[in-house]
A and B are shown apart, each in its own frame.
Chain A
């Protein structure tokens, strides 16, 4: 399982273009959208500057992007013979799926490490607590695994890259907008609030926001529990569907 993380690190060592290009969008959110919207002061952020408020949301959105599109790598590995070969190794199917999923977490962490310096430059005040920061990274790492498992699931259902791209987009944007990434859940219409309750992205954003920005840890346990449950469910479903991917 760990070897898949190592594989990902080695790939990043050789080619980091994707990380840089993918960081353009979140940086725009933080550098342009955040400061402009904060002029309005219409969104109740409980005393947190608006740009600071959305920074965790934007971070998570970008790492979720990385994870959801990680399935493209899986599609490529299916089109080449790599997945077939992996299925013929003694490694278990679960280890393969979880390992591949968590590998996207490696990418996500590096993505975060690119965006944070930009956020610091723009004046976002992170909590100066290394322990909290490390915990936040860990949460991002594990939640990325869950989203990548969704992506593996999609990959096993969608047989072409084009369809995959379409579905990927169609999943990410609703997750993003129906979450607390850009505004508190309280502001949403009631139906959307119900939906957000089942949106794993909300829990991740909430956890990372409390650890990086607000320092208010009251709901942290609930968040971590929700993320763990989400991961467990996604890993199981993705492992079951994984056999289908190569038939």
Chain B
């Protein structure tokens, strides 16, 4: 999974689509903004999500943030190890830091930001 192939939401989730499997996580920028992570709540396997629906939350000592589904689909896998130890996200927000996988019928991610657009989005937010 190459960073450059990921797409991003305005709410800092990243998504990697391979066939009908979407892997979803949160960006390194988001992890850095949150600081020390203490808790992650992930959905149950089998749950149906709509694009934009809040599917869980990530809690740090500073804030609790909702996590939003970039696409619609059915939850097929969750990263249980990460739920046990959310601090692992600060080391690796991408490969090992995936949060969940959805089985999706969506194929067109062009509405989501590519890496360059996302970097610009973060620069604008990060003042």
A binds B: no
